[in-house]
Amino acid sequence: MQMAADFPENYLRYPDAFQFIKDVAVDWDRTLYLEAEPMAYITAARKAKGTDNWFVGCVSGNAPHKSQLSLSFLDKGRKYEATIYTDAPDADYRSNPKAYRIERRTVTASTKLSLTAVAGGGYAISIVPKR
């Protein structure tokens, strides 16, 4: 069972951030663990069943985490649009938990993303082929 763990009124208040939850698949062809350190962070990528859409998620523990994320799992020779949902630089799970940024960019299998998750934070990325 998939669920969204927050109050419905928060999703209504932040529809741009809620878009990832609306877009993310619930059935998968492939799952990759891209980086992990027990009790510190984990980053996983999942390919939606029957599509070429990928969804990446990272969650950090008690310390911030900097990722140098390779997108080499994408099909070579193809362009994708990535929508990247990240913690804002001033985000803090205690004092500023709703600070986030959303960025869109074109990516390929050779792209490396530099992303930071604050302590108790994370990031999410939807990656869809460009038409």
CA distance 68 to 16: 25
Instruction: Answer whether residue 125 is part of any domain.
Output: yes
Q: Percentage of the chain surpassing pLDDT 90? A: 76
CA distance 124 to 20: 8
Instruction: Answer whether residue 39 is part of any domain.
Output: yes
DSSP string, 3-31: ---S-HHHHHH-HHHHHHHHH--SSEEEE
Statement: residue 1 has pLDDT above 70:
no
Instruction: Answer whether residue 1 is part of any domain.
Output: no
Instruction: Answer whether residue 53 is part of any domain.
Output: yes
Instruction: Answer whether residue 2 is part of any domain.
Output: no
Pick 85 or 9 by higher pLDDT. Answer: 85
pLDDT tens digit sequence for 39-69: 999 999 999 999 999 999 999 999 999 999 9
Q: What is the pLDDT of residue 3?
A: 54
Residue 97: which pLDDT band, with cuts at 50, 70 and 90? confident
Q: How many domains does one find in the chain?
A: 1
pTM for the model stands at 0.91
Residue ranges making up the domain that contains 125: 8-129
Q: What CATH code is carried by the domain that includes residue 72?
A: 2.60.40.1180
Instruction: Answer whether residue 23 is part of any domain.
Output: yes
pLDDT tens digit sequence for 62-94: 999 999 999 999 999 999 999 999 999 999 988
Q: Percentage of the chain surpassing pLDDT 70? A: 95
